[in-house]
Structure 1
Amino acid sequence: MKIMGLDIGGANTDCVIIDINDKHEIKSIQEYKEYLPMWKDNEKLQECLIKLYDNDSEIEVICVSMTAELADSYTSKTEGVLDISKKVIETFSEKIVKFVTFNGLKSYDEILKNPLDAAAANWIGTVNAIKYIKNNCIFMDMGSTTTDIIPLKNRTEIASGHSDTERLGTGELVYTGMLRTNLATIVHEVPVKNIPTSVSSELFTISADIHRILEHITEEEYTCTTPDGKNKDLTSCKRRLCRLICADLDTLTDEEIINITKYIYEKQVEQVTQGLIKVVEKTGLTSVIICDLGNSKICYNAAKKLGLDIIDIDEYISKKSMSIITAIGAVQMYLEEQDTNIQLIHCI
């Protein structure tokens, strides 16, 4: 039996295809990621899904989580969930299709009745993948756009919030990420020649630029589009960063650019730390499993500030697999429904 897991995000659609034999042994695992900016290209979703499926007739089950319902192409989350789920069903009309919700996996008919149950439920898939590492812990996962801070007790999520709005209030969701975050949402001013200097709120530069400059990510890992539509080399990243304070490469020295970059990095660590403090105070948990996209160590440094016991997810899973962990978790949820006793986190 082959099972496909999909995580349809606002910028990327992640995919895993797992082949399991009759003895419940894993024969193969294939992992894919497709960049699809749903805020402008949501009509291309089926084309993207077909590409990932690649006419593999052996796939029997499709398990789907989503966050793309919040994309600007939709007027409401309900509209987004209904459109995305419809496109999935139309693409895989001959398959068993299940959607990740806050109440487990649900059929398309159940999604039609309660579409918001599937809205931004991707982190439920993530929890189901990593819960076999440690029974009681906080899982911190910084992605391209947001950071999840998810508490678990007895292998079950105990989050205070479920919707994005609720989680933003509880600290369990921090809207800051490695790639797509507008730097003007991280800082309101930066030091320039020892003078606190206000920043422009224009979308001149994003977090990928500072992490590229600090060598936390490679040019290949800078997977989103740039604000100016230009290159992702170091010079281009520094040029965009200069515009944050309406400057350019002629008016700022390289040392000044690096100082600004390091300052913003520390402020991003502070953003994540504030969310983590809320979760720790609420739950009393002292162990943290961390996952940082690239080599930024933002989650690590936030946990270190609070003196928490740190477990690096890299000890259990490759960075490539971790980048599609929600899709893997969606499949894990189905395997548990089938009582297979397979723990994917120990197989990938």
Structure 2
Amino acid sequence: MPITAGYDVGGAHLKVALTDDGRTIAVRQIPCPLWRGMEQLDAALVEAIALIARAEQHAVTMTGELCELFPDRQTGVREIVSHLATELDADLRVYMGLRGFAGTATAMAEPASVGSMNFLASAALVARSLPGALLIDMGSTTTDIIPIVDSMPCPRGITDGERLMTSELIYTGLTRTDPCVVAHSGRLRGREQRLAAGGFASMADVRRILGELPDGIDQHATADGRGKSIEESIARFARVFGRDAENASPAEWRDAAREIADKQMEEIRLAATSVMAEFKQLSAAPVVVAGIGASQIAALMAQQGKAIVHFSTLANAAADCADWATYCAPAVAVALLAGEN
């Protein structure tokens, strides 16, 4: 099998994985605020050079076509594919969902089959090893829930719009989501109140206050441009309640943060329950956890009595990149899948 570099081009990050002979040997997540311009992708690729220099082939999937840089999704797909093919100076294999991989010419001619198909790549890799499973990938912005039945991904929706209708896509993530998207009200010092929807904080602040944010995953600036200490996170979170940090104790702010984090996980639990209800075969199937919120998903679904499998196990990841193989599942998946074909 050739050494393969896999790329997941998102609107906020470039995720890159390197695989060799069916084994995941390196993974990186690089900040890439694509909405600011294609030069952000160039800069991220420069940072990835040390990882991808050994690659004999390249494979890509994406969600970045959704970002504000592009007038529509089809334009976004074409520009990203064209840009990568030029910058990598290589034959690029583009993931087209249920259709598998194609060359750049086919991908640019049929962009609707390319955009936001990264969830299917991860599900296809899971289906190689598990005949039945529920894959839940909680990223920085969204959460994907994909059923695998009879060794096949079986999403009821394919496009983002369809998947939002079927609860297989939820716009809630571990770090970049505004707490006011998670909840319209919260409890502070024993009293319920409305929240201020002003973009004052993020769920990264909530998770930092709770001590639940994995190292190295929150790579973007904070809402106020200040630092990422617990004290600074509490100051931002307090604004969501229309208050200053000194209006409550650190323990009271932790209690308020806990409630909002729990509401976020309850939304995911309800969606997962809805998806599983459509497939009786999944009642005893394990849950495969992926994304930077994998630990939170594992705890949530273990409480429901589900067996837990970390994506890195199915990706045959080296010990030194196992966590990141789980965090960056689609990049790993396209690398492994392309390496087999």
- The TM-score normalised by the length of structure 1 is 0.88
Which of the pair is proportionally richer in helix?
2
1:319 aligns with 2:320: no
Aligned residue number for residue 32 of structure 2: 36
Match of 2:187 among 173, 186, 191: 191
Identify the residue that residue 92 of structure 2 maps to in structure 1.
97
Percent identity, aligned pairs only, is 22
Aligned to 1:291: 289
Structure 2 residues without counterparts, runs of 5 or longer: none
> Which sections of structure 1, spanning at least 5 residues, go unmatched?
338-348
Alignment partner of 1:329 out of 324, 329, 333 = 333
Does the CA-based 8 Å contact 2:291-2:328 persist in structure 1?
no
Give the conservation status (yes or no) of the 8 Å contact 1:290–1:299.
no
Q: CA deviation at 1:297?
A: 4.2
Residues 121 and 55 of structure 1: CA distance in aligned 2, closer, same or farther (over 3 Å): closer
Residue in 2 aligned with 1:342?
none
Distance (whole Å) between structure 2 residues aligned to residue 31 and residue 297 of structure 1? 18
Q: Distance in 2 between matches of 1:201 and 1:252?
A: 20
**For 2:134, which of 132, 138, 152 is the aligned residue?**
138
Question: What amino acid sits opposite 1:2 in the alignment?
Answer: I
Q: Give structure 1 regions of 4+ aligned residues with deviation exceeding 4 angstroms.
A: 54-58, 292-297, 312-317
SS at the partner of 2:297? helix
* Aligned pairs (5 A) from 1:69-148: 69-93=65-89, 95-102=90-97, 103-148=99-144
1:110-259 superposed matches below 5 A: 110-218=106-214, 220-259=216-255
Distance change (3 Å), C-alpha of 1:39 and 1:125: same
User: Alignment partner for residue 62 of structure 1, among 52, 58, 61?
Assistant: 58
Give the distance between the partners of 1:76 and 1:240, measured in 2 at CA. 33
2:180 partner SS: helix
Once residues 2 and 39 of structure 1 are traced to their aligned partners in structure 2, the CA distance between those partners, rounded to angstroms, is 31
Change beyond 3 A, Cα 1:100–1:257: same
DSSP 3-state at the match of 1:59: coil
Q: Distance in 2 between matches of 1:243 and 1:140?
A: 31
RMSD: 2.3
Q: Does structure 2 retain, via aligned residues, the 8 Å contact 1:291–1:313? A: yes
Aligned 8 A contact 1:128 1:332 in 2? no
Given that residues 105 and 333 in structure 1 are in contact (C-alpha distance below 8 angstroms), is that contact kept between their aligned partners in structure 2? no
For residues 58 and 187 of structure 1, what CA distance do their matches in structure 2 show? 46
Q: Which residue is 1:300 aligned to?
A: 298
Q: Which range moves more in the overlay, 294-303 or 68-77?
A: 294-303
Q: How many residues align?
A: 331
- Structure number with greater CO (CA < 8 Å, separation at least 6) is 2
TM-score by length of 2: 0.89
**Could you tell me how far apart the structure 2 residues matched to 1:157 and 1:222 are?**
30
